[in-house]
Amino acid sequence: MSGLRIEGLTGAGVRADHLHIVAGSCYSLSGPSGSGKTLLLRAIADLDQTDGEVWLDDQARSRLSGPEWRRRVNYLAADSQWWARCVGEHAADWHAPDLVALGFESEVLDWEVQRLSSGERQRLALARALAHAPQALLLDEPTANLDQHNTERVEQLLADWRRDKHGCVLWVSHDPAQQSRVANQHYRIRDGVLEHRDDA
């Protein structure tokens, strides 16, 4: 079975009985603030302690070390974090086409993080995630700080990435229009419990 598959994930304030994101597809995740969207993404990425199992293709999470799992299943926080002075220092292997697709030239790697706007940081955080060649992306409102033009860039890049790399995406979004634009299936989380949405 290919893709990202969750079975009986509980703990850290969330419960997800079953979820299977088929390789190459994108599922949306919505829910009121504080309902546990971020917690679910963190739980899948194994940043918080949970019971249950998650598979990537035929690989069980419990059979991999934490870092090995997170290299494949990449969680991108809503508020992008940077730890070195220059953008380029945050990854060894930046993909120039991704940077271009997000509206940057490759000189951006020499820029200082401090001088970036929050929107630039958010787009570059996505490029940074892709530079680590993950197989699944857990995105927490990846276009929250972006204008319409840049939102389109991000959506396009992720659509291309899914098609070319057969990647899976779980996308937290508040915007119904965006959900139907980017996602094949729709899930919601209520009081920490994940459920499929039939209304969308």
Partner 1 sequence: MTPEGLILLSPYDLALSAGLVLMLAGLSWQLSLEIGGRMLIASARATVQLLLLGLVLKALFSTTNPWLVAGLATLMLAVAGYEVMARQRHRLSGPWGYGAGTLSMFLSSFSISVLALLVVVQPTPWYAPQYAIPLLGMLLGNTMTGVAVSLDHLTRQTLDKRLQIEARLAIGQPAIEAIGDIRRDALRAGLIPIVNSMTTAGIVSLPGMMTGQILAGSPPMEAAKYQLMILFLIAAGTGLGSMTAVLLGSNRLFDRRSRLRRDRLGE
- Residue 154 CB, shortest distance to partner 1, in Å, is 18
Give the one residue of 7, 13, 23, 47 binding partner 1; rule: CB under 8 A: 47
145 binding partner 1? (CB under 8 A): no
- Residue 42 CB, shortest distance to partner 1, in Å, is 8
Shorter beta-carbon distance to partner 1: residue 62 or 106: 62
CA–CA separation, 87 and 90 (whole Å) = 6
Shorter beta-carbon distance to partner 1: residue 170 or 188: 170
71 binding partner 1? (CB under 8 A): yes
CA–CA separation, 26 and 157 (whole Å) = 13
- Residue 155 CB, shortest distance to partner 1, in Å, is 22
Region 77-96 residues binding partner 1, contact defined as CB under 8 A: 77, 79-83, 91
CA–CA separation, 32 and 50 (whole Å) = 22
180 binding partner 1? (CB under 8 A): no
Q: 70: which 2 tokens?
A: 């997170």
Give the one residue of 46, 98, 120, 141 binding partner 1; rule: CB under 8 A: 46
Give the one residue of 15, 70, 153, 188 binding partner 1; rule: CB under 8 A: 70
Shorter beta-carbon distance to partner 1: residue 71 or 181: 71
Q: 164: which 2 tokens?
A: 């070319």
CA–CA separation, 61 and 77 (whole Å) = 20
Shorter beta-carbon distance to partner 1: residue 88 or 181: 88
User: How big is the chain by its Cα radius of gyration, in Å?
Assistant: 16
**Residues contacting 161, CB < 8 A, separation 6+:** 130, 167
Q: 58: which 2 tokens?
A: 């035929």
Q: How far is CA 173 from CA 2, 8, 10, 65, in A?
A: 24, 23, 22, 29
Task: Kindly report the length of the chain.
Answer: 200
Q: Which residues bind partner 1 (CB under 8 A)?
A: 45-49, 65-68, 70-72, 74-77, 79-83, 91, 128-129, 132
